[in-house]
Amino acid sequence: MKNIMLVCAAGMSTSLLVTKMQKAAEGQNLAADIFAISESEVDSTLERKDIDVLLLGPQVRYLKGPFEAKYKAKNFPIEVINMSDYGMMNGEKVLQHALNLIG
């Protein structure tokens, strides 16, 4: 089971992308928990849930450095979603990028 967390300003704009990523994961018979939250929910979510990768929406790219410092001990990759993939809501490409980061 891969746990993929997407973070955006309000947790709303990434919900369509999550749906498309879930559909892509189903097409690959991949067991994945893909979900989106707002930046304000990150701490509480990480207290109760382990994740494999954290993807930031382009609108919150400024959080990458602070999040890398804050969650370094948790040892998961943090990356900004490619702006064109995000804009096109390309769930397949974003999922593949997440899986590549997980390794």
Decide if pLDDT at 40 tops 90: yes
Q: Does 8 qualify as catalytic in the annotation?
A: yes
pLDDT at 70: 97
| CATH superfamily, region 2-102 | Response regulator (3.40.50.2300)
Decide if pLDDT at 58 tops 80: yes
pLDDT at 11: 65
**What pTM does this model have?**
0.95
Read off the pLDDT of each residue in 33-48 and give the average, rounded to a whole number: 96
Decide if pLDDT at 68 tops 80: yes
Q: Domain limits of the chain?
A: 2-102
> Out of 4, 5, 8, 81, which one is annotated catalytic?
8
- Angle at the Cα of 95 from the Cα atoms of 33 and 20, rounded to 5 degrees: 75
DSSP label at residue 72: G
Q: Are 57 and 11 in contact (CB under 8 A)?
A: no
